[in-house]
A and B are shown apart, each in its own frame.
Chain A
Amino acid sequence: MRLLELLTSDDPDIRNQDLASVCTTSSWDELLQACAALDQFRRVEDNLYLRVRCLFFLHAIYRYHLPEREELKREGRIPYASVLHLHKRRFEEAIEECLATQAEQGLSDPLASALAELYHQLAFQQLADQVRRSVRASRGNQWMFRLGHPLDQGLSLRPELLQASGKGLYPLLRERTPVRMDLSHSGWSDIFFLGMDYPEGARVINVSIDLALRGRDREPTAPVEAYLRVIDEPVLRLASVDLGVQADLSELRDVFDFAKDYLGLLKAAVIASGIVPPGLEGSGSSLQELLQRMVGPGKGLELVSRVNHIPKGSRLAVSTNLLASLIALCMRATRQTESLDGMLTEAERRIVASRAILGEWLGGSGGGWQDSGGVWPGIKLIEGCEAGEGDPEFGISKGRLLPRHRILDRDDVPDSSRQKLQESLILVHGGMAQNVGPILEMVTEKYLLRDAKAWEARQEALTLIDEILVALQEGDIRRLGEITTRNFEGPLQEIIPWASNRYTERLIAEMREAFAEEFWGFWMLGGMSGGGMGFMVAPGRREEACDFLQQHMQQAKEDLQHALPFAMDPVVYDFRINEKGSFCECLTGDTALMPVSYYAQMLPDWVRSDPRDLSAARRAELLRLAEKSRQGTEFASLVPTLFTQLLPQSDVSERASGLENLLKEIGFDSLQQEEVRQKLQSGKLGLARNRLPPTTRIEDVEPAGLPRSDALSPEAARRGAAALAAGEVAVITLAAGTGSRWTQGAGVVKGLHPFCRLGSRHRSFLELHVAKSRKTGLEHGCMPAHVFTTSYLTHDPIAETLKRTGNFGYAGPLHLSKGSVVGVRMIPMLRDLLFQWEELPQQLLNEQAQKMQESLRSALLGWARSAGEGGDYRDNLPAQCLHPVGHWFELPGLLRNGVLQTLLEERPQLQWLMLHNVDTTGASLDPALLGQHILSGNSLTFEVIPRRLADSGGGLARVEGRLQLLEGMALPREELDVELRYYNSMTTWIHLDSLLSLFGLTRSELGDSEKVAGAIRSLGAQLPTYITLKDVKKRWGHGQEDVFPVSQYEKLWSDMTRLPEANCGFIEVNRLRGQQLKDPAQLDSWVRDGSAAWVEALCEFGE
């Protein structure tokens, strides 16, 4: 069958066929021809979804199906011009470059990787563009984009909001909006792209709920609140009570500057509601003129948000519903709703929802189409609907952007069912914070490729939603629990295994054990588990189960906090179904006061200001407030709060002493730090100085010059096997890192992160490496010694885990080697920030995200300037202020801390080490590779892999005629990054005595700590010191996070190849063995391309 038929056939059986099934039966030539035909097709096809699906086909063929074939050349080059185009998001030009190279030189693995990535990104860009176009083209939104001058503003404020009371208080509008929980999203079918392509499969049951934090709040209330009123100053005053920030905007450009402060959501609402329409951006108009036209001369608006301390990552769509609430409020104030107060009409809810999508797009975020469900009342069935004539999507996509909401009435879900649901369900926030974005991309891709298992699972999820509806109608909550559990354990994890994790599974198992038959079920809220989750129990045991969960979640969090990214302590919610949806009241006269927390935030500034500067309205407000607090209402608590606010107790000194203690404990070398700081501040060290001089002669390596792992002699395998059997080998796993890319700087111990389900359960990287050593030991009759190198960040959690698990049941010698060299992170130099952002190749983001980034960068430059360039970074938790100083120090650490000596005492015959990164999952004690190293006579043999597009950061090169590994930071020209065909996998085979001799040491001298320290210092001085910028997260408030780029310095292991006296060799290994896992987004393709299964086969988990 021709691949094109899968796209164009009218027969659903053909159209919904798995791409893989067709590819596996096609020859190499047929696949190449199919790629050419598909590329042609996507260029001429008008239908967006055919085009996008075609792009995903191309991606999958180049990423998975062609690399499997023998015919594919392993080595080749990616044209640098295509990389430059990619950075600028000019995907079409980049694809052209790659295809021209393919025509000229034939297809190679690197080129296929580049084409796969380019088609993938082009597909997502086209999808995102379409969502944006659809939102803009929605009726009711179009006018906002064509309005370009304040005089063209057709909105004005409702006159009643301009009528101040006798005491001078303006009426206050208060919108209260519930959040939403989804009983099922039918396999993430609420992703816009799915709903627009497969409307019949897009179905969600969505419930609007009020929340209370168990033990803190009296009763559940609508957790999202927004307030609006007229003020007698010509500014737009925005305040977020939860985040404790406020700003008076007087310039139009500030309204469009989203990353300047934490008020992006409020700004997005002001824009998306049409008060400051998006068309005004960059018009050069005046905000005051606009306010004067809408509100009146000298007057402005104040908009306040409050979410009642519901933390981020709750999977309850808090931010989307807050945005919708703010938009609804702004629309009410400007006569865009029929009624100023009360509930919204269906037509109004729809426009609010569509504008919330617009607002999310403006703010650079994005949710699903069901997320603004809190605007609607009660329980809803939300379904995709086909685009008809007159819809902006008609002729472009099958479905409409906005779904249809059917509010389920009492016949669908009787009151008794609603009551029963509330009596059984326990809502929690497990405390984990994870980025759900990669999951949504994986879902979209699998859907468009019609991945057979995922497609089957999707169909099953669609039948489950009907079963849920029946269970709800019949009030059978036990059955409901059974279905949602089945959904989670079946279709959801079949589509995306990463939806679950060890934490969630532990909680489910504990609930099952404790409540047995009376644990009715689990459900995952939103995109993934670990944050918002639901547990259902028999009504009589709900209270007990709430306590149980609170306690067990906390315990599980404590046990796993180093392994999984937790942002906060777990909490249990009380909830109630909200039958009103978004609801507004107009508070007038004496009741027109903001919530107490607003005043707690604002009062200190007001009190500090000169009374004569207070406006009439504010004076009236203060008088009224004083009256209220005297009456002993909730406002009475303001007085003590005011004192606390006026005289805040700083935790800076507390933190500083914590850091000092930690440094003392680690044995921090302040002299070394000062030396680096001095060089950094004087410009001797810096990002630009990491590079080799531009005149350095750097050449690529000819493939014929390297041995290959698939062409090794039987003799090598025999020699390696003999060494293994004799116990001459040890594994060194570098586990000092915290996986900054894996959890975006959340400080999780990467080695302990249970990243994938292997051999029946989630396994951490360390467990995996031990399992490989176990299998090697079983096969060769001697368990190899295994060492994990650790750092101050990872040592204790790893030691504790090994203790708890009995070294994961490993029978061989297993040691921890604690690294003692640390650095204190430093405030970056402006020149380094600018170098990073302006000189180094940067990925241009989509239009809105790019704007956000630029605005954020300008704020970060301001931060670095004011915090003091090159100074210590201390404004964070002590552990977040320190950094490991590069993996070079990890091996010398073994010499210094006595671990090597201990090993040699246990295994005097030890001769060979295999050193590898914790995330190189395929690194194993392969006898042939070991034998090859032994036979080569090299001191060090480095494993390299043919480069793919994603392998950025140096490689193997001939530098001034000498073969060595070059770090990306040292490359004097960016294009070298793609010109070097081999990438460093970091796995290194080491001859122990040769290594010691490089340090100028012998085995017998390892006990002489002074000599060892001197030897390390002396060798280290011969290696370059790099300055790098790393992102570090600072957590604050309720699950809020900021990311700061900080400077740190490093020495790197691969620079051992720069030492002229080191006798280094290199060997080419395949990707299965050499691939490093740096980002959770890689996981899905790691499973799909067979890597996971390959690695699993290397393991023996010993269970």
Chain B
Amino acid sequence: MKLDCAVITAAGRDQRDLPLQSLVDRDGQSRSALAILLREVQEAGIRRVGLIGHPGAEQRYLEAAAEFQDLIEFIPQAEANGYGQALYLARDFVGSSHFLHLVGDHLYVSDTSQGCARQLVDLAKTEDCSVSAVQSTREHQLGLYGAVGGQKVTGRERLYKVEVVREKPTPTLAEQELVVPGLRVAHYLCFFGMHVLSPGIMECLERELADREQPLSLSTALNHLVQQEQVLAAELAGSRHNIGMDYGLFYAQLALGLRGVHREEFLGGIVNLLAAVPGGRG
């Protein structure tokens, strides 16, 4: 499988500035979220990144990418017209290759020495098919993510064959269609914001976009893809952090700090902070 390019979407109205936010990464370096993401991608062996963003934001993104700006090919999305439409803009960029796809408002923190993107890319190459990274998520948060239903791959840990994909399902729908044997009660496999996708996804997006005025989700197109080719889902050794949510940036920083080179100092700071709070909300 040829897999040397990635697509990052950052065109949504609410997420344009998120990649520009500054954090301290695991090495103790202050970097933009975009740079942290690009580093993750580069470490996964990716050489080209298509960054889909608002036309006016190109320069700011390039600056935020810092030392990784050479990787980037900027793909402008003039109108914020949905996730599916944004991704479809990268069809020429990815050509006939599989590609890694990440969302610009997430950061990933691996539990191992290998980054999350690296884990996913390696798995996709081994399995020679599309693989979506997923995370077991409690049902009350289903409304925030796309989710998959399917079966465990026999003899493999944390690897699933995807049978159905639903965008932001309700618990009602999830219970009917997305229950995966072996997961904890009331937990579902929700997207991690990271996928390796086959070029088939572009055909699915094209078909779906042909007669649609409403914004299109990736989940809808992926649901078509699973009907025509094998798609797996994998729980990676790591965690995702949506920096667009309330306190999302803060939690992402916490996760990075606790796994970073300045862990002791960081912990000490937190303890001091906690000790200084008089207690309770007031």
The interface of chain A, by Cβ under 8 A from chain B, is 139-144, 146-147, 151-156, 274, 331, 334-336, 347, 351
B124-156 interface (Cβ within 8 A of A): 138-143
Given A155-B170, A334-B170: A140 and B175 within 8 A (CB)? yes
Q: Are B176 and A139 in contact (CB under 8 A)?
A: yes
Interface size on B, residues (CB 8 A): 17
**B162 → A minimal CB distance (Å):** 19
Q: Binary interface profile of B, 191-206, with partner A (CB < 8 Å = 1, else 0)?
A: 0000000000000000
**A1005 → B minimal CB distance (Å):** 81
Q: Are A142 and B175 in contact (CB under 8 A)?
A: yes
Docked complex Cα distance between A347 and B171 (Å): 15
B87 within 8 A of A: no
Docked complex Cα distance between A143 and B173 (Å): 11
**B134 → A minimal CB distance (Å):** 17
Docked complex Cα distance between A139 and B176 (Å): 5
B38 within 8 A of A: no
Besides A151-B140, A156-B143, A335-B168, 7 more A-B contacts (Cβ < 8 Å) are A140-B172, A140-B175, A142-B175, A154-B143, A155-B170, A274-B171, A347-B176
B179 within 8 A of A: yes
Docked complex Cα distance between A154 and B172 (Å): 9
Q: Which of A139, A152, A335 contacts B175 (CB 8 A)?
A: A139
Q: Are B140 and A154 in contact (CB under 8 A)?
A: yes
Q: Are B176 and A143 in contact (CB under 8 A)?
A: no
**B264 → A minimal CB distance (Å):** 34
Given A154-B142, A351-B176: A336 and B170 within 8 A (CB)? yes
User: Which residues of A have CB within 8 Å of B176?
Assistant: 139-140, 347, 351
Q: Are B173 and A146 in contact (CB under 8 A)?
A: no
User: What would be 7 A-B contacts, judged by CB atoms less than 8 Å apart?
Assistant: A143-B171, A143-B175, A143-B186, A154-B139, A154-B170, A274-B170, A336-B170
Docked complex Cα distance between A156 and B138 (Å): 15
- Residue on A nearest B186 in the bound complex, by CB: A146
User: Which residues of B have CB within 8 Å of A139?
Assistant: 175-176, 179
B185 within 8 A of A: yes
User: Which residues of B have CB within 8 Å of A144?
Assistant: 171
Main secondary structure of the interface of A (DSSP, over half): loop
User: Which residues of B have CB within 8 Å of A347?
Assistant: 176
The CB with the most chain A CB atoms within 10 A, among B171, B185, B186, is that of B171
Docked complex Cα distance between A422 and B168 (Å): 45
Docked complex Cα distance between A336 and B140 (Å): 14
Docked complex Cα distance between A151 and B141 (Å): 10
**B115 → A minimal CB distance (Å):** 31
User: Which residues of B have CB within 8 Å of A146?
Assistant: 185-186
User: Which residues of B have CB within 8 Å of A140?
Assistant: 172-173, 175-176
Docked complex Cα distance between A155 and B173 (Å): 11
Docked complex Cα distance between A155 and B169 (Å): 9
Q: Are B143 and A143 in contact (CB under 8 A)?
A: no
> 9 tightest A-B contacts by CB?
A143-B171, A154-B140, A152-B140, A154-B171, A336-B172, A140-B172, A140-B176, A336-B170, A139-B175
Q: Are B140 and A153 in contact (CB under 8 A)?
A: yes
Docked complex Cα distance between A156 and B173 (Å): 14
Docked complex Cα distance between A139 and B171 (Å): 10
Q: Are B179 and A335 in contact (CB under 8 A)?
A: no
Q: Which of B139, B141, B168 contacts A143 (CB 8 A)?
A: B139
Q: Are B140 and A335 in contact (CB under 8 A)?
A: no
Docked complex Cα distance between A274 and B175 (Å): 13
- Residue on B nearest A355 in the bound complex, by CB: B172
The interface of chain B, by Cβ under 8 A from chain A, is 138-143, 168, 170-176, 179, 185-186
- Residue on B nearest A293 in the bound complex, by CB: B140
User: Which residues of B have CB within 8 Å of A143?
Assistant: 139, 171-172, 174-175, 186
Q: Which of B172, B174, B179 contacts A331 (CB 8 A)?
A: B172
Q: Are A154 and B141 in contact (CB under 8 A)?
A: yes
**A406 → B minimal CB distance (Å):** 20
The CB with the most chain A CB atoms within 10 A, among B141, B172, B176, is that of B172
**A929 → B minimal CB distance (Å):** 68
Q: Which of A142, A152, A336 contacts B173 (CB 8 A)?
A: A336
User: Which residues of B have CB within 8 Å of A336?
Assistant: 170, 172-173
User: Which residues of A have CB within 8 Å of B141?
Assistant: 154
User: Which residues of B have CB within 8 Å of A155?
Assistant: 143, 170-171
Docked complex Cα distance between A154 and B144 (Å): 9
**B150 → A minimal CB distance (Å):** 15
- Residue on A nearest B173 in the bound complex, by CB: A336
Q: Are B186 and A274 in contact (CB under 8 A)?
A: no
**B43 → A minimal CB distance (Å):** 35
Docked complex Cα distance between A153 and B142 (Å): 10
Docked complex Cα distance between A154 and B168 (Å): 10
Docked complex Cα distance between A573 and B203 (Å): 55
Q: Are A274 and B140 in contact (CB under 8 A)?
A: no
- Residue on B nearest A155 in the bound complex, by CB: B170
Q: Are A351 and B172 in contact (CB under 8 A)?
A: yes
User: Which residues of B have CB within 8 Å of A351?
Assistant: 172, 176
User: Which residues of A have CB within 8 Å of B171?
Assistant: 143-144, 147, 154-155, 274
User: Which residues of A have CB within 8 Å of B139?
Assistant: 143, 152, 154
User: Which residues of A have CB within 8 Å of B186?
Assistant: 143, 146
User: Which residues of A have CB within 8 Å of B140?
Assistant: 147, 151-154
**B13 → A minimal CB distance (Å):** 14
**B211 → A minimal CB distance (Å):** 16
Q: Are B185 and A335 in contact (CB under 8 A)?
A: no
**A324 → B minimal CB distance (Å):** 15
- Residue on B nearest A273 in the bound complex, by CB: B172
User: Which residues of A have CB within 8 Å of B168?
Assistant: 335
Docked complex Cα distance between A155 and B174 (Å): 12
**A911 → B minimal CB distance (Å):** 78
**A334 → B minimal CB distance (Å):** 7
User: Which residues of A have CB within 8 Å of B138?
Assistant: 152
Docked complex Cα distance between A140 and B174 (Å): 7
**A288 → B minimal CB distance (Å):** 18
Docked complex Cα distance between A335 and B170 (Å): 7
User: Which residues of B have CB within 8 Å of A334?
Assistant: 170
User: Which residues of B have CB within 8 Å of A153?
Assistant: 140
**A107 → B minimal CB distance (Å):** 49
**B96 → A minimal CB distance (Å):** 34
Docked complex Cα distance between A498 and B40 (Å): 78
**B153 → A minimal CB distance (Å):** 20
Docked complex Cα distance between A151 and B138 (Å): 12
- Residue on B nearest A153 in the bound complex, by CB: B140
The CB with the most chain B CB atoms within 10 A, among A140, A331, A334, A336, is that of A140
- Residue on A nearest B179 in the bound complex, by CB: A139
The CB with the most chain A CB atoms within 10 A, among B142, B179, B185, B186, is that of B186
Docked complex Cα distance between A142 and B188 (Å): 14
Docked complex Cα distance between A331 and B176 (Å): 15
- Residue on B nearest A143 in the bound complex, by CB: B171
**A363 → B minimal CB distance (Å):** 20
Docked complex Cα distance between A347 and B170 (Å): 14
**B163 → A minimal CB distance (Å):** 14
**A158 → B minimal CB distance (Å):** 11
**A957 → B minimal CB distance (Å):** 59
**B185 → A minimal CB distance (Å):** 7
Docked complex Cα distance between A455 and B4 (Å): 73
**A155 → B minimal CB distance (Å):** 6
**A326 → B minimal CB distance (Å):** 16
- Residue on A nearest B170 in the bound complex, by CB: A336
- Residue on A nearest B141 in the bound complex, by CB: A154
Docked complex Cα distance between A538 and B156 (Å): 70
**A201 → B minimal CB distance (Å):** 28
Docked complex Cα distance between A351 and B172 (Å): 9
User: Which residues of B have CB within 8 Å of A152?
Assistant: 138-140
Docked complex Cα distance between A155 and B172 (Å): 9
**A271 → B minimal CB distance (Å):** 14
User: Which residues of B have CB within 8 Å of A274?
Assistant: 170-172
Docked complex Cα distance between A857 and B142 (Å): 42
Docked complex Cα distance between A274 and B143 (Å): 14
Docked complex Cα distance between A331 and B142 (Å): 16
Docked complex Cα distance between A331 and B173 (Å): 11
**A831 → B minimal CB distance (Å):** 48
